[in-house]
Amino acid sequence: MTAAVEKSLALWGMEGAAARLIATRENQVYRVDHGSRSYALRLHRPGYRTDAELWSELQWMNAAAAGGLLVPVPVPSASGGFLHVADGIQVDVLTWLSGAPIGRTGEDLDTADRTSLFHGIGREMARLHAVSDHWTPPKGFSRCSWDREGLLGSNPVWGRFWENPSLVSEDRELFAAVRMTADKELRQIEGGLDYGLIHADLVRENVMADGDKLQFIDFDDSGFGFRLFDLATTLLKNMREKDYPALRDALIAGYLSVRAIDLAALDLFLLLRAATYIGWIIPRAGEPGSKARQQRFVETTRLLARSYLAV
């Protein structure tokens, strides 16, 4: 157990509790068992989010839970705060959700009633959007924006995908054309698109199933954005499934069972979502497995780009 974990447990009045590292993605996440309850202790990657951004994330999660969504709920520390710094690391504690992720990205989806699952994901996604639209963020609320600038501007949320230094010249030219075409099209339609708070990372690892209950976790990339971006994120990570058309239809049907959305630009957002990962991998190029991951990202984006641009 690290000093930061021990200090964090003390801040929440959980000295001596058992803490086990369970995830090391953007953050380090520990399962903490204290008394008869379990919690998720998060140690945030230094420099990734400001205090205001993390506080805002916790506020939105609390609002989503209050609106009936099954999401982790922020737990106040002994002093009543939701966010602290321990050994120079931002830390917070969330309620622990039972169940398990519906699958892992890159592996075949292993579930019995697949279309019902995706119908449920679409339904819960739409409920999250609906609850968010009826919630007024508090003063000081600050999250990233997955808007046109955040996707295609000079400083995108996840980096300049068209300038990934590992791209071959042909892909560099293709992705520069994607940026130019997508920017032009978004300028024409962005005012009419459904926009608001989005999760922005509803991949399989972040959808938990507990019996017939579906729960959303990991709001680390949440912010303001086009609602089609949320649909595109889930669809993109399941495009290789043999029954993808049925899963796509089920996800959309589940969403539409709660709220309306214009799907005309969905293919554009599938392409844009794929491209963001090529920017995301740039600062992680030296991490284990990054070369293979980037190859998958580039191949997927290339395929979608050629189809969308008809080249």
Confidence of residue 62 (pLDDT cuts 50, 70, 90): very high
Q: Residue 119: CB partners within 8 Å, gap ≥ 6?
A: 250, 251, 253, 254, 257
Please report, for the chain, the start and end positions of each structural domain, with discontinuous segments joined by +. Answer: 11-96, 101-309
Q: Give the global pTM.
A: 0.95
Q: What is the number of other CB atoms lying within 10 angstroms of the CB of residue 15?
A: 10
Q: What angle do CA 8, 142, 146 make, to 5 degrees?
A: 115
DSSP 216: E
Look up residue 135 and give its two tokens: 């919630």
- For 92-102, write each residue's pLDDT tens digit: 999 999 999 99
pLDDT digit string (tens) for 246-300? Answer: 999 999 999 999 999 999 999 999 999 999 999 999 999 888 889 999 999 999 9
DSSP 8-class letter at 146: E
| pLDDT tens digits for range 169-183 | 999 999 999 999 999
The CATH fold of domain 11-96:
Phosphorylase Kinase; domain 1 (3.30.200)
Shortest CA distance to 133 belongs to which of 1, 219, 260? 260
- Phi, psi (degrees; rounded to nearest 5) at 23: -155, 140
Q: Which amino acid is at 257?
A: S
d(CA 292, CA 294): 5
Pick the CATH number of 101-309 from 3.10.50.30, 3.40.50.720, 2.130.10.30, 3.90.1200.10: 3.90.1200.10
